[in-house]
Structure 1
């Protein structure tokens, strides 16, 4: 895998300024995020922590364009993400951000290799003749190349999470975002996944991970804490402290 496209280590891959997100509820307007300011740099491995309902998942959903902000700016590589149309947003996300979910979200009727190739097909990021071999190379890196032609149901939870990570890396995005990716894994597999994310950050990617497992903060370079939708702490952590 090539390093993230030659980024200046001091230039943010994503800059968030004055980001707020509110939802209308039966009891009135609920502020899920309040005036978030954040720069995500190449090589960052960021933990987003906080109590349930603090805004962790909302932050990464807005950061990746899955949800839209109520106010503020999201700028990535000169692109004003918050102003993109749905069509352009999908293309930007497909090329720029890999997303890993807690429950894998692999398509059950596609084989593992077909799941990994799907983002390449969607974005036309690599020549068609190269996509299967690229997918296999990612699966080899993750230690599950021998599962490539199986359906997801035949894989263990840990193997499915590895496949989901391979899919997230398919277009070699500079940013990887993961929402509780170890929540359904045993401790050994969790450590292996964390080590992989750490390796990706050393290679120059930015990895942003929502987690409630504070004992895993030794893996991170930064820990961001949210409370009631506001960012109350941003500090260096064990890996590079």
Structure 2
């Protein structure tokens, strides 16, 4: 039986627009389960990133409730929410947001000092272990400007894993990468998911989406479709791509 880790109830997000309201998220109800690799898809402007940021507490909902481990996130003060984001959530973005004057090792380590009772030595050892796991340890002493986009994104994944997050939130994590680096990053995310890591990812790329096992389709601020597939296996990639493409077509993508 799956364990629910994140839940949205009647979630709404609106923005003022020329004297009116633009309802980006409209009464969304969903559950995210531990160990799942869930992907959110939809046309441009559907609210995918807004949903991701709202669920993670990086943005605030206009109405509705969000529960994390059965506790209502909406009731938390900003400092409490910041602590949860630092200690229990991991984030990967299209633009890596690495600190330009820190090495990859220092970038991976920096979040380990936030709210953690670990020594400097312990933090650096974990950061190095994660850079090794993400296959970028050879560049640990280089600055972000001295490595490829793929290496920088793998370092960003190491940073996201630093505090052993319950969920990784990924917003178009391969959007700025070439084909080879895209495959490397997706293989890495797939491997982390096989190890039990929960992942919630926004993407517009079918080749990225097929690595997930659960698919949500967002349209006009609502979840209009859902599909599940068995865990990803590379030998099934072409068939999975056909299935996802057919499903998206049925959603009028």
Shorter-chain TM-score bucket reads over 0.9
2:180 is paired with a residue of what secondary structure? helix
- Looking at structure 1, the residues matched to 225 and 124 of structure 2 have their Cα atoms a distance apart, in angstroms, of 43
Task: Specify every segment of 5 or more residues in structure 1 that has no aligned partner in the other structure, as ranges.
Answer: 1-8
State the partner residue of 2:186. Answer: 194
Matched, 1:113 2:111: no
SS at structure 2 position matched to 1:105: coil
1:14 is matched with which residue: 6, 11, 15?
6
Range 105-114 or range 132-141, more displaced: 105-114
Q: Which residue of 1 aligns with 2:250?
A: none
Whether the 8 Å contact between 2:10 and 2:27 is mirrored in structure 1 is yes
Partner of 2:159: 167
Q: Which runs of 4+ in 1 moved over 3 A?
A: none
Alpha-carbon distance in structure 2 between the residues aligned to 1:28 and 1:133 = 52
CA distance in 2: counterparts of 1:209 and 1:171, whole angstroms: 19
Secondary structure of the equivalent of 1:17? strand
* Separation (CA, whole Å) in 2 of partners of 1:159 and 1:112: 9
Query: Is 1:155 paired with 2:121?
Result: no
Cα offset, 1:87, TM superposition: 0.8
Of the candidates 15, 18, 29, which is equivalent to residue 23 of structure 1?
Answer: 15
Report matched runs for 1:176-215 at 5 Å: 176-215=168-207
RMSD: 1.5
The 2-side partners of 1:141 and 1:17 are apart by 36
The number of residues matched between the two structures is: 233
With the length of structure 1 as denominator, give the TM-score of the two structures: 0.92
Structure 1 residue 214 displacement after superposition: 1.7
When normalised by structure 2's length, the TM-score is 0.88
Residues in 2 aligned to 1:236 and 1:187: alpha-carbon distance in whole angstroms: 25
Q: Deviations over 1:66-88 (max 9, x none)?
A: 10011111111233112211111
